[in-house]
Amino acid sequence: MGDDLPPDLGRLRVLETWAAHYLTRIRARIAAVERQQAQRQPPAPMAAPPSRSAAGPGRARTPDWGLAEAGIGVPITEIHRGDCWARGRSLVAVSAERARAELAGGAQPCAVCRPDRVLNPQ
């Protein structure tokens, strides 16, 4: 273990709580910046038929494809269908073209929803 950490359990638990709180703030900021960037980019044409939108007014439409970037808890970038139950909370909506490019670049297809079968039919 590192010498920069306190030796007692109490202070270690305080640091753990602080780190979890700070990670939540960082993820919220990342999501806000991604939303800002998505608003600046023109929408890409869709290759697949659009998925059903979420019920109720004011709810965001479910994306057709999504990207779960590698990071804490996600060892490698994964591509998901927008309605995949295994997508996690930090799915970034992407076009079918970007999803294909990510798969070609080494991203893993989700083992549950198998987007590679639709995006790259053999």
What are the pLDDT digits (tens) for 47-63?
555 455 445 566 666 77
Residues contacting residue 44 through CB under 8 Å, at least 6 positions apart: 95, 97, 98
pTM score of the predicted model: 0.46
User: Which residues make beta-bridge pairs with 78?
Assistant: 68, 108
Residues contacting residue 53 through CB under 8 Å, at least 6 positions apart: 59, 61, 62
Please calculate the CA angle 112-115-117 and round it to the nearest 5 degrees: 105
Both tokens of residue 56? Answer: 């109720």
3-class DSSP assignment, residue 108: strand
Rounded Cα distance between 84 and 19, Å, is: 29
Cα-based distances in Å from 79 to 20, 25, 86, 96: 26, 25, 11, 10
Residue found by looking up tokens 């294909």 in the block:
100
Mean per-residue pLDDT over the chain, rounded: 79
Residue found by looking up tokens 């039919």 in the block:
121
Does position 46 have pLDDT exceeding 60, yes or no?
no
Residue 8 pLDDT: 92
